[in-house]
Structure 1
Amino acid sequence: MTSWKLRTRSATASPSNARTQTKRRKIQEQDEFQCVEGEFPSPRVQSALMLHAIRQPYELSTDHEVPVVQHNHELLLKVNAVGLNPIDWKGPDYNFGIPTFPFISGREMVGTVIEAAKARNSRIHKGDIVIVPSTDYRDFRKAVFQQYSIASTFNTIRLPQNTPVNSGSILGVAFVSAVLALGICMGVSFGSIESGPDLLDIVRNIDPETLPSDIRQECLKGVEESERAKAGDWVIIWGGSSTCAHVTKQLARLAGLRIISVADSAKHGLRLSSTSEIRPDLLVDSHNPERAVEIIKAATSDGARFGFDTQGKETAGYLLRSLHSFNSPMSALADSSVKGPRHKESKLPTPPATPLENISRAPRSHLVGLTGLPKTDIPEGVSLHSVPIKLFHEIPEVGEALCAWCERLLVKGLLVPPDVVGIVDGLEGINGGLDRMRRREVRGGRLVAVLP
């Protein structure tokens, strides 16, 4: 049986109370681990990183309660490796994504299932090593800056033998974000790629009332059937060196899209150009954004119809200008009625107005912002989108489809995780790792915290 270090209270033993102390120690051990020979332990307390205030470092608590399974589809996992994300330091520094204090962060990990779900026909079983993208940040049980975490079976990806644990721990959130951006906001169908999901078909064939109200419009009306991205279309990824871009480019290429990647060529150009999995069709230097817009418009004959920004509101504004835009039929008619020539002398009868419903509207362009979108100067014919991340953890049909597909892609080698560019030691090392990220010392991949 695996040897586990137990936390026990100190006591002074004497010949007269030795038997009592031994009995008491056994009771403590059973209460903390409740384990029997040949089984995984079920601890009662654990170590966890807690955030108690804005702009403060996380503090290590060594007596935090282990989260408890509450639903038949939930698993209890021992956390093995944690991927560090920008949100883990930006949230505390800028006070967003933190519902209450004390707060437990951590959005993705690889762990071992020590308590399997009670639901039947689950892909996941006790002892499995799994990838967990933990997108439900309001449920602290599912946060991963702790030794044990809860996950839903439909949000869990079995780790294939050909994928290292550390690499798997930085894949999940980027994968979920990329699939939802492409599949929901741009309408890409992955049905021809290892039986992948058609997400628009899934969400538009379930009860609309089951969709969260704040993303319902995005799911049902965000992109029309005639506007869906298809093989041969251009997609611009601004912030092409990010981890999310790393995954998005791979999935876009599998779907047959042509890729323009906007990134700092001096820092990332060699890596992006020499790595076949993420090499774009066109790499544009981001150093001069105005020039980048000109290059994109020239290369795509006046702009592409699809764009994905991974950086923020400012770069999303430049990306917006890189997209093809047009005046809607209604605006064109209005403009012509006001600005067009007035033939007062003409004796010809005025032709009847063309019904608006008979005017064929050109397909809109679509801009997806991962962390921010422009607020003003939105041209006609461009639709703005935010990634509906809630779909993954609130709609089981979506979560299951994404996780099962990710497993198949990893097994076939069709999806390559981002690079691990550094390791930190346990929960204790996470603050130091986040400081490195604050100082912009981490490039071309992610840091991983490895837990004992």
Structure 2
Amino acid sequence: MTSFFRRISFQKTKKTPTAAAAVAVPEEQEEEEEEESPLPTPQTQTVLLLHAARQPYQLTENYPVPQVQGEHEVLVRTQAIGLNPIDWKAPDFNFAIPELPYISGRELAGEVVQKPNEKSRLKARDRVLVISTDYRDLRKATYQEYVVAFDYNTVRLPPSISPEEGSTLGVAFVAAALALGVCMGVDFSSVLDGPDLFTLVRKIAPELLAEDVRGECLDGIAGHERAVAGDWLAIWGGSSTSANLTIQLAKLAGLKTIAVVDKAKHGLRLANHTSIRTDLLVDSHDPQRAVDIIRSNLKGKLRFGIDTRGRDTATTLLQALSPSNLATPSLPSAAADETADVDAPPSPPATPHDSTQLSAHLIGLTGLPKQSAPEGALFHTVPIKLFHEVPEIGDALVQWLERLLAQGLVAPPEIIDVEHGLGSINKGLDRMRKGEISGGKLVVRVA
């Protein structure tokens, strides 16, 4: 895949002054060289370390600044960090922690301090969004003052987007784009030359795709079943950040959207919001009534559903999908509607069948029903690791997001509040545990 990143570089020729004549360096050239030169970087930094499950993160000084190793790696100084539910659920439920002590954090906005190789589109002092989906590499975790990132997982921010705004949308964007583009087959090529991920992933040698996501990538949905403009998509848990970006991208692709939310909390905001206003807004308070409303309005036209909450709500959403005769278990209690299932990984996708009959497709961001997919339906999990393991995918997504942000076609999620300093992250995560942050993002300003 090295050839994919081969880019044209312009070599600057320096003239050496002699006794006969001294060559003056133009002021513009001096400014350009200064802009591209590395910024001073300390040897040590302050980080947050998790030493054991069910404990708070510990503020730790004199921790080594991570070192850049590969040709596509850059070093970024942290300015603002977006907090995600996984950051408190992982230690509380003791999962997704590959080693201890551990550094967490999945997205930040900051400034490139070490100039990458000449082939990279990035340069020192670029304002960027870093999207860290590779949770096993602690150099890329965002709860630290300096972070290593792949250039193909790094988004240049336009002047219109502040660091706080930039830190809110990275992981949600990746999850939304892969759910729509890979699991549903949506083609974004008509939206600022966005990626056709369904086609792109099939051009990659199968052995380069991780075994646990290969089936979803290559066999998850057949070509004739791909979602197209005019198709309906229902999102259960429509107030989450991932739902926010999913709705925005789905609308850009011409899909019609349904959001199932707590209307008392989020109904007015979603109904009046330009970017995330849906075609149908359904109250989640009574799950059976929500299913009935969707069925009566769509009349068998709903084939695609995305659940952002967990196993129970995914089971509920399955009953709203067509074919309408799907055999599904009874609905879970309403009390389970707001709680994601975090103690077990999502179920694997169902084995595709050869029938030309259009199927219902259910995508679980945090869980899927316990039972196997019934006849006429397929289950999907989002292959997140494509973003950092396959450079072609990561590069296509971040450069598309750069264009979307520059043109104002994607808006950052609402910022609920801003905390200050790495030491305030524990306080912020406690607020998330208590359910105080809903319908937007909590951000921590670091520098």
Interval containing the TM-score (normalised by the shorter chain): 0.7 to 0.9
Which one of 209, 224, 243 corresponds to residue 226 of structure 1? 224
Correspondences of 1:296-335 after superposition (within 5 Å): 296-302=294-300, 304-325=302-323
Which one of 128, 137, 140 corresponds to residue 130 of structure 1? 128
Which one of 167, 181, 189 corresponds to residue 183 of structure 1? 181
**Any idea what the Cα deviations from partners look like across 1:341-376, whole Å, max 9, x if unmatched?**
xxxxxxxxxxxxxxxxxx963111111100000021
Tell me, in whole angstroms, the C-alpha distance in 1 between the residues paired with 2:121 and 2:316: 43
Cα deviation for residue 379 of structure 1 reads 1.9
Query: 2:269 is paired with a residue of what secondary structure?
Result: helix
Identity of aligned residues (%): 55
Tell me, in whole angstroms, the C-alpha distance in 2 between the residues paired with 1:424 and 1:106: 15
User: For structure 1, which segment, 307-316 or 376-385, has the greater mean C-alpha deviation from structure 2 after superposition?
Assistant: 376-385
Query: 1:276 is paired with a residue of what secondary structure?
Result: coil
Q: Which residues of structure 1 form unaligned runs of 5+?
A: 1-37, 329-358
Cα deviation for residue 111 of structure 1 reads 1.1
Alpha-carbon RMSD: 1.3
1:31 aligns with none
Q: 2:100 matched to 1:68?
A: no
CA contact (8 A) 1:325 1:380 kept: no
Correspondences of 1:40-439 after superposition (within 5 Å): 40-118=39-117, 120-302=118-300, 304-325=302-323, 361-376=356-371, 378-439=373-434
Tell me, in whole angstroms, the C-alpha distance in 2 between the residues paired with 1:236 and 1:137: 29
Structure-2 change in CA distance of 1:149 and 1:377 (3 Å): closer
CA contact (8 A) 1:77 1:113 kept: yes
Cα deviation for residue 298 of structure 1 reads 1.1
TM-score (norm 2): 0.84
CA contact (8 A) 2:38 2:124 kept: no
Cα deviation for residue 378 of structure 1 reads 3.0
Tell me, in whole angstroms, the C-alpha distance in 1 between the residues paired with 2:206 and 2:38: 43
Cα deviation for residue 41 of structure 1 reads 1.3
Greater gyration radius: 1
CA contact (8 A) 1:186 1:228 kept: yes
Query: 2:275 is paired with a residue of what secondary structure?
Result: helix
Query: 2:235 is paired with a residue of what secondary structure?
Result: strand
The amino acid across from 2:433 in the alignment is R
Tell me, in whole angstroms, the C-alpha distance in 1 between the residues paired with 2:192 and 2:119: 21
The amino acid across from 2:296 in the alignment is A
Cα deviation for residue 303 of structure 1 reads 5.2
1:346 aligns with none
Structure-2 change in CA distance of 1:218 and 1:204 (3 Å): same
CA contact (8 A) 1:326 1:381 kept: no
Tell me, in whole angstroms, the C-alpha distance in 1 between the residues paired with 2:183 and 2:246: 13
Query: 1:218 is paired with a residue of what secondary structure?
Result: helix
Query: 1:375 is paired with a residue of what secondary structure?
Result: coil
Tell me, in whole angstroms, the C-alpha distance in 1 between the residues paired with 2:208 and 2:372: 34
Query: 2:323 is paired with a residue of what secondary structure?
Result: coil
Structure-2 change in CA distance of 1:69 and 1:306 (3 Å): same
1:348 aligns with none
Cα deviation for residue 39 of structure 1 reads 5.0
TM-score (norm 1): 0.83
Query: 1:278 is paired with a residue of what secondary structure?
Result: coil
User: For structure 1, which segment, 371-380 or 105-114, has the greater mean C-alpha deviation from structure 2 after superposition?
Assistant: 371-380
Structure-2 change in CA distance of 1:203 and 1:360 (3 Å): closer
Tell me, in whole angstroms, the C-alpha distance in 1 between the residues paired with 2:180 and 2:430: 32
The amino acid across from 2:148 in the alignment is I
Q: Which residues of structure 2 form unaligned runs of 5+?
A: 1-36, 327-353
The amino acid across from 1:193 in the alignment is V
2:31 aligns with none
Tell me, in whole angstroms, the C-alpha distance in 1 between the residues paired with 2:307 and 2:115: 38
Query: 1:298 is paired with a residue of what secondary structure?
Result: helix
Structure-2 change in CA distance of 1:360 and 1:326 (3 Å): farther
1:347 aligns with none
Tell me, in whole angstroms, the C-alpha distance in 2 between the residues paired with 1:152 and 1:442: 30
The amino acid across from 1:419 in the alignment is E
User: For structure 1, which segment, 419-428 or 39-48, has the greater mean C-alpha deviation from structure 2 after superposition?
Assistant: 39-48
Query: 1:280 is paired with a residue of what secondary structure?
Result: coil
Tell me, in whole angstroms, the C-alpha distance in 1 between the residues paired with 2:210 and 2:283: 38
User: For structure 1, which segment, 378-387 or 221-230, has the greater mean C-alpha deviation from structure 2 after superposition?
Assistant: 378-387
